[in-house]
Amino acid sequence: MAVSARRGTPLTPEEIYNMALRLVDEVGVEGLSMRKLAAELDVNPMSLYHHVESKTALISQICASQGLRMELPGEDLPWRERVRLLAHAYRSLSRDHPNMWRYVHSHPEIIASRTGGLWDVLFSILVTVGVPESELRRTADVLYGFVTGLVFAESAGHIGQGQDPREADRTFETAIDLIIRGLGG
């Protein structure tokens, strides 16, 4: 029955993850501290360490679970459409939690496993397009770099600053068009 003195219920990992993500949304990963997180949960800072190995582990768990939320396009669509949907899926992830993705982007070790189905879909698209076996890996890497880079530049404000959102959308379409044309579309 040993329960927090300050709260009625015991801590759960989910509670911790959710609050951590909320804080990251507000103040960024750099702005998140175990102590602030604990305060927000109305708990002693050290209690967290019974449910979470470390701050780094906490962050990577959140990131991993977010990565799984990506909505991958179905196999039956024309490849141009699949490219478009895949790019938009990634962009939409990044827009839900920009602070988190900005961090992930510069800490690759956090999603060392190449984000689940994304790569399978990408390869399958390229096969459809007719990219030769020997170029598959290279081309997939290039497209990954392009799309993540664009999404990132957008979310970090490197590009399209102070424009209305519709303009940002159009820039993104321009990018997809360029990719499709580059792939031979």
Partner DNA sequence: ACCTGAACACCGTTCAAGT
Residues that bind DNA (CB under 7 A): 2-6, 10-11, 32-36, 43-47, 49-51, 54-56
Q: Which is nearer to a second copy, 28 or 45 (CB)?
A: 28
Interaction partner, residue 22 (a second copy, DNA, none; CB < 5-8 Å by kind): none
Based on the shown chain and the rule CB under 8 A, indicate whether residue 184 belongs to the binding site for a second copy: yes
Sign of CA dihedral 14, 15, 19, 20: negative
Contacts of 21 by beta carbon, 8 Å cutoff, 6+ apart: 62, 66, 97, 100
Based on the shown chain and the rule CB under 8 A, indicate whether residue 169 belongs to the binding site for a second copy: no
Site string (57-96) toward a second copy, x via CB under 8 A? ----------------------------------------
Q: What do you get for the CA distance between the two ends of the chain, in Å?
A: 65
Reference 18, options 37, 1, 3; nearest CA is 37
Here the tokens at position 86 are: 């895949």
CB 19 to a second copy: min, Å = 23
Question: Stretches 19-27, 58-66, 86-94, 148-156: which one binds a second copy (CB under 8 A)?
Answer: 148-156
Based on the shown chain and the rule CB under 8 A, indicate whether residue 150 belongs to the binding site for a second copy: yes
Distance between CA atoms of 6 and 2, rounded to whole angstroms?
12
Q: Which is nearer to DNA, 51 or 80 (CB)?
A: 51
Based on the shown chain and the rule CB under 8 A, indicate whether residue 44 belongs to the binding site for a second copy: no
Distance between CA atoms of 87 and 175, rounded to whole angstroms?
10
Q: Which is nearer to DNA, 2 or 68 (CB)?
A: 2
Residues that bind a second copy (CB under 8 A): 102-103, 105-109, 135, 138-139, 141-142, 144-154, 156-160, 167, 170-171, 174-175, 177-184
